[in-house]
């Protein structure tokens, strides 16, 4: 769709060896609003220098020049600025030459005897160039979205397959397997839904935490979320942290503070900077009032998921302390996304 925003003054490159003709052409161009800036080139060297600068929105060129011809100028312009409209402004341009110029990519031609046509021809060429540029940007954006979607789908499927396989390996019964797997898939789905609402831009950390507990009705009432600094998370961090919080909430409901009637969970976060001045997030999960806890004899898939998600996908560190009256999980990671290449293998290796 064409843009209706005010356009800046057009930058015109005028290839013309006659100073008088250049002055007449410039006078006609002054009728365009906003008035364009005109850069004149009288020979090949000046023309090439102007092309190399790239600061050209439309090219006007005489057909006959002392040191080279208009067709050569057209070829050179298309090599360096292929999307820039090229209009011949010539005193004599026969029918065959005009047809050949269009075949080679010229946008239009205007006879010097009829320079009154020039402003309209230039404005039309600029409008068509803007429309083509917007169409190209739209196509490039669609291609980028398709590639990004394909990448995310492959990563999501790798993670889902890993969850199915590893959940089955740690389940104690069919019912336990189904419940645990559905909880993990629901956490992924809820995180995707939140990101969809933000058009796959950044999601607020506070909302990511609230969504994670909303999936566990028995937990939400006994969770205290301390207000923290506004912390936007990119899609990768939001998805990864949602999975980690789901694992912590599920464990608290089954074995930890939320498995009884009196236990609570406190979640707080703050922003830090490392020794190189890069921003990091510190999030602490603290359980209180539940049964006494101890470190498991063998690390299960839930603990593995928490550690590997923070360490490999978010390039951070997860510390799980079972020594106190309740589990304390301390999560630290930089507030930048891990590289796209890092996500796939780590998800598949969970």
Burial track 138-166 (b if 16+ CB lie within 10 A, e otherwise): eeeeeeeeeeeeeebeebeebbeebbeeb
Torsion of CA 125, 131, 133, 135, to 10 degrees: -150
How far, CA to CA in Å, does 192 sit from each of 196, 215, 240, 288? 6, 13, 11, 31
Dihedral angle sign, alpha carbons of residues 122, 124, 128, 131: positive
Task: Give yes or no for residue 337 having a pLDDT over 50.
Answer: no
Q: What percent of the chain has pLDDT over 90?
A: 41
- Alpha-helical runs (H) found in the chain: 19-29, 44-53, 70-80, 95-103, 118-170, 174-197, 205-214, 217-220, 235-254, 301-308, 340-348
Q: How far apart are CA 51 and CA 36, in angstroms?
A: 17
Task: Give yes or no for residue 210 having a pLDDT over 80.
Answer: yes
- Tens of pLDDT along 164-182? 776 777 777 888 778 777 8
pLDDT tier at 251 (50, 70, 90 boundaries)?
A: confident
Task: Give yes or no for residue 281 having a pLDDT over 60.
Answer: yes
Task: Give yes or no for residue 103 having a pLDDT over 50.
Answer: yes
Q: How far apart are CA 18 and CA 30, in angstroms?
A: 18
Task: Give yes or no for residue 338 having a pLDDT over 60.
Answer: no
- Tens of pLDDT along 145-159? 677 667 666 766 776
The predicted structure's pLDDT at residue 275 = 82
- Neighbouring C-alpha atoms within 13 Å toward the C-beta of 285: 26
Q: How far apart are CA 327 and CA 290, in angstroms?
A: 9
DSSP calls for 224-236: EE------EE-HH
Chain mean pLDDT for the chain: 83
pTM, two decimal places: 0.53
The pLDDT of 201-216, averaged and rounded, is: 83
Burial class (CB in 10 A: 0-12, 13-18, 19+), 292: exposed
Burial class (CB in 10 A: 0-12, 13-18, 19+), 300: middle
Per the document, the length of the chain is: 350
pLDDT: is 214 or 52 the higher one? 52
Nearest to 205 by CA among 184, 226, 183: 226
Q: For the chain, which domains are there?
A: 11-135 (3.40.50.2300), 171-348 (3.30.565.10)
Cβ contacts of 264 within 8 Å, gap of 6 or more: 222, 223, 224, 257, 258, 287, 288, 289
Q: How far apart are CA 142 and CA 129, in angstroms?
A: 20
């Amino acid at each position: 769709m064409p843009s209706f925003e005010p356009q800046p003054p057009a930058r015109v490159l005028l290839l013309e060896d006659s100073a008088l003709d250049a002055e007449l052409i410039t006078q006609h161009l002054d009728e365009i609003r906003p008035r364009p800036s005109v850069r004149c080139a009288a020979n090949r060297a000046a023309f090439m220098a102007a092309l190399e600068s790239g600061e050209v929105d439309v090219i006007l060129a005489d057909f006959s020049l002392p040191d080279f011809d208009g067709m050569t100028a057209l070829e050179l312009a298309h090599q360096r600025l292929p999307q820039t409209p090229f209009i011949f402004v010539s005193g004599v341009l026969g029918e065959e030459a005009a047809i050949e110029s269009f075949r080679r990519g010229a946008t239009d031609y205007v006879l010097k005897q009829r320079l009154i046509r020039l402003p309209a021809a230039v404005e039309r060429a600029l409008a068509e160039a803007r429309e083509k540029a917007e169409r190209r940007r739209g196509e490039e954006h669609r291609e980028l979205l398709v590639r990004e979607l394909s990448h995310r789908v492959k990563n999501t499927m790798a993670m889902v397959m890993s969850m199915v396989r590893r959940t089955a390996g740690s389940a104690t019964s069919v019912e336990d397997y189904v419940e645990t797997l559905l909880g993990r898939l629901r956490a992924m789905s809820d995180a995707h839904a939140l990101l969809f609402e933000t058009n796959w831009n950044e999601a607020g950390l506070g909302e990511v935490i609230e969504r994670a507990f909303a999936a566990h009705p028995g937990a939400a009432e006994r969770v205290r979320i301390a207000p923290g600094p506004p912390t936007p998370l990119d899609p990768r961090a939001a998805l990864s942290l949602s999975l980690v919080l789901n694992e912590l909430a599920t464990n608290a409901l089954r074995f930890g503070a939320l498995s009884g009637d009196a236990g609570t969970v406190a979640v707080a976060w703050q922003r830090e900077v490392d020794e190189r001045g890069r921003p990091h997030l510190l999030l602490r999960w603290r359980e209180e009032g539940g049964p006494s806890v101890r470190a498991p004899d063998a690390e299960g898939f839930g603990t593995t998921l928490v550690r590997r998600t923070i360490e490999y996908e978010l390039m951070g560190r997860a510390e799980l302390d079972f020594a106190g009256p309740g589990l304390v999980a301390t999560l630290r990671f930089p507030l930048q996304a891990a590289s796209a290449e890092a996500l796939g293998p780590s998800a598949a290796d969970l």
